[in-house]
Amino acid sequence: MFPHFGVKGPEAHQHVVGQVKRTSEVFSRARSAAPCVIFFDELDSLAPSRGRSGDSGGVMDRVVSQLLAELDALHSSVGVFVIGATNRPDLLDQSLLRPGRFDKLVYVGINEDRVSQLQVLQAILRKFQLDPAVNLQELVHRCPSHMTGADLYALCSDAMTAAIKRKISLIDSGVDSEESPVLLSVEDFSAALENFRPSVSDQELLRYKNIQQKLTVK
């Protein structure tokens, strides 16, 4: 397994204020540990478009310039791979997307078809105990048409909360005992769905798809 370094954008910003060398240190460690993968999470926070980042001292502009220099220098390195993730690619400094830097752009979209949603739901519920009456396929069709993996996990979490509350009530009434497992029932999922709202609106989904089309054209 490759060694790997994970860097979150906001964390990097906190560390590099006053010491832009932080960026070069990450790459230096990666070259020493090669073969190695560097993963930049929330890349838009670390490398926003220069001149528009809003920091009067130009700190982030210098960080972006340093990051570009390090990416260019990787051509002479062997076994160092750089991956970045962002949900706002439109805010990235466009120099990052030039050949030789982040060469491949992969759009990870929302599971909009029911088959994919069912597969994600099944994976999430592997460690949950379900009432035999729960039909996951029917449950998926009751969900909003577009849901992220995080949305599906939140739905299951809310259903578990409802199940725990129901069990406590049954225990207090002397109908159930603490020794029996907590089973997620159809009623628990129904309660979770009552106030559920997808984290990505139709307008946001359209914006992401427009960004995807623009980047694909490039």
- Specify the long-range contacts of residues 97-105, CB closer than 8 Å, at least 24 apart: 97/215, 97/218, 100/71, 100/72, 100/75, 101/68, 101/71, 101/72, 102/71, 105/215, 105/216
Predicted confidence at residue 59, as pLDDT, reads 72
Q: Mean pLDDT for the chain?
A: 83
pLDDT tier for residue 30 given thresholds of 50, 70 and 90: confident
Domain range 4-97, its CATH number among 3.40.50.300, 3.20.20.370, 3.40.50.1000, 3.90.550.10: 3.40.50.300
Name residues whose C-beta falls within 8 Å of residue 75's C-beta, 6 or more positions apart in sequence: 100
pLDDT at residue 163, as a whole number = 94
| Amino acid 208: pLDDT | 82
The reported pLDDT for the residue numbered 190 is 95
> Which DSSP string do the residues of 121-155 spell out, in sequence order?
HHHHGGGS-B-TT--HHHHHHHS-S-B-HHHHHHH
Range in 84-93, 102-111, 141-150 the model is least confident about: 102-111
Give the residues across from 36 on adjacent strands. Answer: 80
Distance of CA 79 to the CA centre of its chain: 25
What pLDDT does residue 51 have? Answer: 74
The pLDDT tens digits for 114-124 are: 999 999 999 99
Q: Give the separation between CA 33 and CA 60, rounded to whole angstroms.
A: 27
Mean pLDDT of 177-201: 90
pLDDT given at position 33:
84
Proportion of the chain above pLDDT 90, given as a percent: 28
Quote the tokens at residue 116: 């994919």
- CA 148 to chain centroid, in Å, comes to 10
CATH 1.10.8.60 residue ranges in the chain? 114-198
Q: Which two tokens stand for residue 162?
A: 């409802």
Contact 170, 176 (CB under 8 A): yes
In CATH, what class is 114-198? mainly alpha
For residue 63, what pLDDT is reported?
82
The pLDDT-based confidence of 15 (bands split at 50, 70, 90) is: very low
Q: What pLDDT, in 10s, does the model give residues 133-146?
A: 999 999 999 998 88
